[in-house]
Amino acid sequence: MMQDRKRLRAETLLVLGVSLGYSAVYSIVDIIGKLSASLPLSSQTTTLNPSRASGRPVLDLAFQLVEIVFGAVPALLAIHLLGNDPGEGRARLGLLPPRLRSDLGRGAALAACIGIPGLAFYLGARALGVNTTIVPEALPKLWWTVPVLLLSAFQNAFLEEIVVVGYLFERLRAMSWGMTAAIIASALLRGTYHIYQGFGGFAGNAAMGIVFAYFYARTKRVGPLIVAHALIDSIAFVGYAFVRGPWS
């Protein structure tokens, strides 16, 4: 039993180390840099989907696609590690058997419950001066802009909900963590890798993490969380792409 826990602990730390654990550490260093800068936090800007090769659209597209594809790999690794047989990892996360209609409906409801208060929370944090200005995208307006933003939204959702909710929750429970402790750990990790946005980003995403982790603990289905997260990000990214010029 002790050997099993050590193996699971090492595996979990390695998975987080190549994905959202690394992002959390980087985010902490980033916010320290922002806080020690000459400009106040409220006067700084955080861009979520920047151009990777300004003035070179084909190369820019290639960079965007490479980031999206390889950004999803840690989630695929987590699914693989959760099962010994093909499909077992997906089944443990509630991705098998597929329940498309149910997952879409529940995901849309979660997106509405989280997205609307989340926008109000962001505006409040900006007013208090504890958050940077979030720029959802800064890509050139080309034929591939919207498809790339949608793919980016899905990749974010797939990675985060698989790793920080489904995989982490399953591993912590297997290491005898209580349900409440596992939910809090998942939520704090989500908040931490968003702290580069400011303290509003940390608090808002931690609150979202509590809701999402609790939902998973009750349903054992990560699909609705992926749908909800992808919808929230898609609306933010694509909506901003259309209003960036006239309503910047």
Peptide bond into 97 cis (omega under 30): yes
pLDDT tens across the length of the chain (248 residues): 667 889 999 999 999 999 999 999 999 999 999 999 999 999 999 999 999 999 999 999 999 999 999 999 999 999 999 987 778 999 999 999 889 999 999 999 999 999 888 888 888 998 899 999 999 999 999 999 999 999 999 999 999 999 999 999 999 999 999 999 999 999 999 999 999 999 999 999 999 999 999 999 999 999 999 999 999 999 999 998 887 755 54
Q: Tell me if 150 sits within 8 A of 234, measured CB to CB.
A: yes
Q: Tell me if 145 sits within 8 A of 245, measured CB to CB.
A: no
Q: Return the sign of the alpha-carbon dihedral for residues 218, 219, 223, 224.
A: negative
pTM: 0.95
Q: Using CA atoms, how far apart are residues 141 and 211, in angstroms rounded to an integer? A: 35
Q: Using CA atoms, how far apart are residues 80 and 200, in angstroms rounded to an integer? A: 34
Q: Using CA atoms, how far apart are residues 136 and 98, in angstroms rounded to an integer? A: 31
Q: Using CA atoms, how far apart are residues 37 and 46, in angstroms rounded to an integer? A: 14
Q: What is the pLDDT of residue 98?
A: 86
Which residues face 198 on adjacent strands? 131
Q: What is the pLDDT of residue 118?
A: 87
Which residue in the block uniquely carries the two structure tokens 């047989």? 85
Please list the helix, strand and coil fractions of the chain in percent, rounded to the nearest 5, in that order.
75, 5, 20
Identify each DSSP E strand in 80-154 by its residue range.
133-135
Which residue in the block uniquely carries the two structure tokens 């998975």? 15
8-state DSSP, 132: P
Q: What is the pLDDT of residue 132?
A: 96
